[in-house]
Amino acid sequence: MTDSTSELLLPAPAKLNRMLHITGRRADGYHELQTLFQFLDHGDELRLRLRPDGEIRLTPPIAGLPDSNNLIVRAARLLQAESGCQLGADIHLTKRLPMGGGLGGGSSDAATTLLGLDRLWRLGLSLDRLAGLGLSLGADVPVFVRGRAAWAEGVGEKLTPVELDTPWFVVVHPGIEVATHAVFGAAQLTRNTPPITMARALQGGAPSWHNDCEPTVRSLYPQVAEALDWLGSRAPAMLTGTGACLFARLGSEVTARRLLADLPGRYTAFIARGLNLSPLHAALGR
């Protein structure tokens, strides 16, 4: 974060779903989940600069995504409407996270916009209120607003903070996109995992965790299956969200770097550490 009152430089971290169970389907077609969210010390970055004229300007544009659909612009306009604030912002996005990869980049960008503009515009809104606004933008936004690793239920909005182990991860993008709606719409998807308590989920720890989307994503997207097989032969590996990104859990930065160096050239990847406090909240002191 810069020290100026008219400009902020803030992180928008990635998340992982350390486990994900699908426990049912609601009347509106959305699925009930139980998941553990954790942040990574890797993500996008937003520079927010105050504009007195009320305009919201985003640079650079994301190819194929009109600004009016960008969660950053939508979050900024929502905050203006909610607070009646007449101020605006120039927002510069450094996009590092693959889109639609299950790392929550768009949701995290939205949360950073809400918290950053709340600070820049001196609105003083509570995290409860900002999380409520975030939920209207997407189910994954509230966890980024609250900034604590969490046990999540419902569609991901009922959050209980947790302290998880903080290993190093190798996060791999297999080079294809997974359509979230195709996974949730697949006939073969397991939708009836019996609900468990948070205590039970935490008791087993990482070796006991799995993602109910994984078998469906494996069969619909053979490239994901191949990448998961490769990664899983080197370290315990899983899918995050509905993919397409995968993560392997390592005991140290050195072993993570070694695995990254061995990775076949057809995949893109990065290493990162798991965090129980979002770097956004660390930067803002919230």
Ligand X SMILES: Nc1ncnc2c1ncn2[C@@H]1O[C@H](COP(=O)(O)OP(=O)(O)O)[C@@H](O)[C@H]1O
Ligand Y SMILES: C[C@@](CO)(OP(=O)(O)O)[C@H](O)COP(=O)(O)OP(=O)(O)OC[C@H]1O[C@@H](n2ccc(N)nc2=O)[C@H](O)[C@@H]1O
Q: CA-to-CA distance for 285 and 9, rounded, in angstroms?
A: 14
Would you call 15 a catalytic residue per the annotation?
A: yes
Q: How far is the CB of 212 from ligand X (least distance, A)?
A: 16
- Is 255 among the residues that bind ligand Y (CB under 6 A)? no
Of residues 27 through 86, those in contact with ligand Y by CB under 6 A are 29-31, 33
Of residues 213 through 242, those in contact with ligand Y by CB under 6 A are 241-242
Would you call 95 a catalytic residue per the annotation?
A: no
Q: How far is the CB of 193 from ligand X (least distance, A)?
A: 21
Residues in the chain: 286
- Is 140 among the residues that bind ligand Y (CB under 6 A)? yes
Q: How far is the CB of 15 from ligand Y (least distance, A)?
A: 7
- Is 176 among the residues that bind ligand X (CB under 6 A)? no
Give 3-state DSSP helix, strand, coil % of the chain, rounded to 5. Answer: 35, 30, 35
- Burial of 177 from C-beta contacts in 10 A (0-12 / 13-18 / 19+): middle
- Is 279 among the residues that bind ligand Y (CB under 6 A)? no
Q: CA-to-CA distance for 255 and 252, rounded, in angstroms?
A: 5
- Burial of 256 from C-beta contacts in 10 A (0-12 / 13-18 / 19+): buried
- Is 122 among the residues that bind ligand Y (CB under 6 A)? no
- Is 13 among the residues that bind ligand X (CB under 6 A)? no
Q: How far is the CB of 103 from ligand Y (least distance, A)?
A: 7
* Distances, alpha carbon 45 to alpha carbons 93, 137, 173, 201, in Å: 6, 19, 20, 32
- Is 254 among the residues that bind ligand X (CB under 6 A)? no
Q: Which of 156, 167, 274, 279 binds ligand Y (CB under 6 A)?
A: 156
Q: CA-to-CA distance for 273 and 39, rounded, in angstroms?
A: 8
Instruction: Using CB positions, name the residue nearest to ligand Y.
Output: 241
Binding residues for ATP: 98-108
